[in-house]
Chains A and B, each alone.
Chain A
Amino acid sequence: MHVPDGFLDAPTSVATMVVAGGVVAASLVRASRRELDERTAPLAGLVAVFVFAAQMVNFPVGAGTSGHLIGAALAAVLVGPATATLCLTVVLAVQAFLFADGGVTALGTNVVLMGVVAVWVGYGVARAVLAVLPRRMSSVPLAAAASSFVSVPAAALVFTGLFAVGGVAPIPLGPLVATMLGWHLLIGVGEALITFLAVSSIVAARPDLVHAARGRMPALQLRTPEPVA
């Protein structure tokens, strides 16, 4: 999904850079006011590190094509959408500047696609799914898996929109939408599997830290040992 330099023209790249900058600035404020507290801050660092590591592991999806985790919905469910945007932005910037993975002038585009669209679509779908599933912790990994599955084609669709506006080659929109959606639905299946496993692990170990479960699950209760008779 990492867009290289040269796919989109300069005005489109500048526009996405401006949008990305605005959302990152707003995310800094929202993350510090509403999402990061003493308890959840360490998880934010861990999520960024996991997204970087997992993005290195491309899995085959058939016909000589591969895909890798985006991790946007995973991050949004675990640490909240604004912190998720910051996690993805840090990962994408390190990949662009250190590893030449994703273009430098395309960094704004990649932040918009993976750090904004995939994060907020993922977060929205996760909230919607959690609203209809039973109020149990076991619902959280299911909601995360469903939302991560949707987040991948959503980001792919927005890329085709950007390419329709500012793409450097006159590619007919129909085939572009069809092939981008087709492959990214397949990649979404892998995204959902990895997200389900990762979120399940955190839910099993520290359900109290999971952002999407805040206010929806029974409060953490202190249990005092029963007196021994």
Chain B
Amino acid sequence: MNADVRPDAPRPRVSTRRLVLVGAAVCLVIAGVVSSFASRHPDGLQHVAHSLGFAGAARESAAAGSPLAGYGVDGVPNGFLSGGLAGVVGLVVVAVVMGGLVLLLRRLGRRRG
């Protein structure tokens, strides 16, 4: 080993392509499967709103009629499938929107620089 390479110097171990593929697969499992086992208890803010008595102030979201509202797919009766499918759809939408935004910003950045 070259003596002047510090053992801690950052070294890529996997290609970017592999990182993104493995990362995306992990995220698919989290959103599609693990999410079904998530705690159903109210989150910190909801709990505080209940215990201090302002939970009733919450109004229904304008998006409450969305076929995916509440992380389920309308018309899919099986809760596990419905939740998992909603997670996968959301994940794909986030990937497309963020991916598109990043591509656009990279293009603009190149044009300027």
Q: Which A positions have Cβ atoms within 8 angstroms of B? A: 1-7, 28, 31-33, 36-39, 41-46, 48-50, 52-54, 56-61, 63-68, 86-87, 90-91, 93-105, 136-138, 156, 159, 167-169, 171, 175-176, 179-180, 183-184, 186-187, 202, 204-210, 213, 217-221, 223, 226
Contact = CB atoms under 8 A, between A and B. Distances in A.
A51 to B, nearest CB: 8
Interface in B84-99: 86-87, 89-91, 93-95, 97-99
Interface residues of B, number: 72
Contact of A5 (B16, B41, B61, B66): B61
Contacts, number: 249
Nearest to B32: A53
B76 interface: no
Given A57-B30, A205-B19, A6 B58 contact: yes
A56 B31 contact: yes
Interface of B: 1-2, 5-6, 8-14, 16, 19-20, 23-24, 26-28, 30-31, 34-35, 37-45, 47-49, 51-54, 57-64, 66, 68-71, 86-87, 89-91, 93-95, 97-99, 101-103, 105-106, 108-109, 112-113
Contact of B20 (A36, A46, A99): A46
Contacts of B48: 176, 179-180, 183
Nearest to A56: B35
B14 A205 contact: yes
18 contacts: A2-B43, A4-B59, A6-B58, A33-B112, A41-B102, A41-B106, A46-B20, A49-B23, A98-B63, A100-B66, A104-B63, A169-B54, A179-B48, A186-B44, A202-B19, A205-B19, A206-B13, A218-B8
B22 to A, nearest CB: 8
Nearest to B84: A56
Contacts of B90: 52, 56, 94-95, 98-99
A52 B13 contact: no
Given A7-B57, A90-B97, A32 B106 contact: yes
Nearest to B8: A136
Contacts of B37: 57
B60 A5 contact: yes
Give 5 closest A-B pairs by Cβ, nearest first.
Answer: A207-B10, A6-B59, A66-B39, A169-B54, A48-B98
